[in-house]
Amino acid sequence: MNAITRTTEEHTAHLQKLQQLVLAMPMARTLGLKFNQLAPGTVELEIPMLEAFTFRPGQLQATAVFAIADFAAVAAAGTLLPPGWLNATVDATLKLIAPAQGALLRARGRVVSAGRSLTVCAADVFAVNPAGEETLCATLLGTARNIDHTQRAP
């Protein structure tokens, strides 16, 4: 079964569980991660600009930029997994394009190519100023390993 053949109720339940799993992660809580959108193959997330993650006033360190990009890309990959499956990052490359400064960061993750074992995913990260204007500050290309947890040993 894939995201296309699921019923609306199954699909909604799957997306809600994915969101709960992501938000339960300590790093997601530390970052103040918030979901704006969650749909098959796409995710939009936000984190506030927190002084604790800056390397100079008003500009986030690359670690926080990488984290939101990774969460967005791999969560997007997770939206296409069958029930009982999870995923994890196995590789990612982040390209910093502009300073991550503003009121918050917004990341839009998407699936590039979904396979049974691996899913190639990507995310664009935008610095959002107080007026809501976005500036692309980074892009990530990653690979997620798809793990069938329905086949776990007792």
Residue 2 counted as domain residue: no
Nearest to 101 by CA among 135, 67, 52, 132: 135
Give the pLDDT of residue 1.
39
Residue 110 counted as domain residue: yes
Residue 136 counted as domain residue: yes
Structural contact between residues 148 and 86, judged by C-beta atoms closer than 8 angstroms: no
Residue 71 counted as domain residue: yes
What value does the mean pLDDT take over residues 74-103?
95
CATH number at residue 72: 3.10.129.10
Q: Is the pLDDT of residue 95 over 90?
A: yes
Residue 3 counted as domain residue: no
Rounded Cα–Cα distance for residues 58 and 137 (Å): 14
Overall domain count for the chain: 1
Q: Is the pLDDT of residue 152 over 70?
A: no
Residue 27 counted as domain residue: yes
Structural contact between residues 110 and 121, judged by C-beta atoms closer than 8 angstroms: yes
Nearest to 60 by CA among 28, 82, 31: 31
Structural domain harbouring 82: 8-151
For residue 24, count other CB atoms closer than 10 A to its CB: 9
Q: What confidence category does residue 3 fall into, taking pLDDT thresholds of 50, 70 and 90?
A: very low
Q: Is the pLDDT of residue 42 over 80?
A: yes
Average pLDDT score, the chain = 92
Residue 62 counted as domain residue: yes
